[in-house]
Amino acid sequence: MTTRHDILSETEATRHSAEQLLRSLLDYRTQSERNLAELRQGDLFKSVTGKSALDNAITSTQRMIEALNRVLARTKRELTDEDLAAMDGERGA
C-alpha cells in the first residue's frame, strides 16, 4: 500500500464518518426544533447569536466534508496508474 493510498483510504473513512455525523446533527436539529415548538420555548442560544449550537455544528461539519472532498480530489489527481490499479484490485477482493 502506498502512502497516497493510505491517505485516500483514511480520508474516505473520515468523510464517511463526517457524513454520518451530519445526518445525525440534521435529525437532532429537527427534533430539537419540534420539541421547542411543543414546549412553546425558543432557543436561547439562537436568540442571542442568531444561530443555534446545532446550526453551528452543522455548518462546521459541512465545511469539514467540503475540505475532505478537496483533499480526496487532489489526492486522486496525484495518484499514479499503479496506485489506481492497486486500489481497484483491493476493492475487488
Between CA 40 and CA 3 the distance in angstroms is 54
> What pLDDT score does 19 carry?
98
Let me know if residue 86 belongs to a domain.
Answer: no
Q: Burial code of 55-91, b = ≥16 C-beta within 10 A, e = fewer?
A: bebbeebeebbeebeebbeebeeebeeebeeebeeee
Residue 84 lies in a domain: no
Q: How many domains does the chain have?
A: 1
Q: 87 in a domain, yes or no?
A: no
Q: Does residue 82 belong to any structural domain of this protein?
A: no
Do the Cβ atoms of 82 and 18 come closer than 8 Å?
no
Residue 93 lies in a domain: no
Give residue-wise pLDDT tens across range 30-88.
Answer: 999 999 999 999 888 888 999 999 999 999 999 999 999 998 998 888 777 676 677 66
Q: Which domain holds residue 69?
A: 3-77
What global pTM score does this model have? 0.75
Whether residue 90 lies inside any domain: the answer is no
More confident residue, 4 or 71: 71
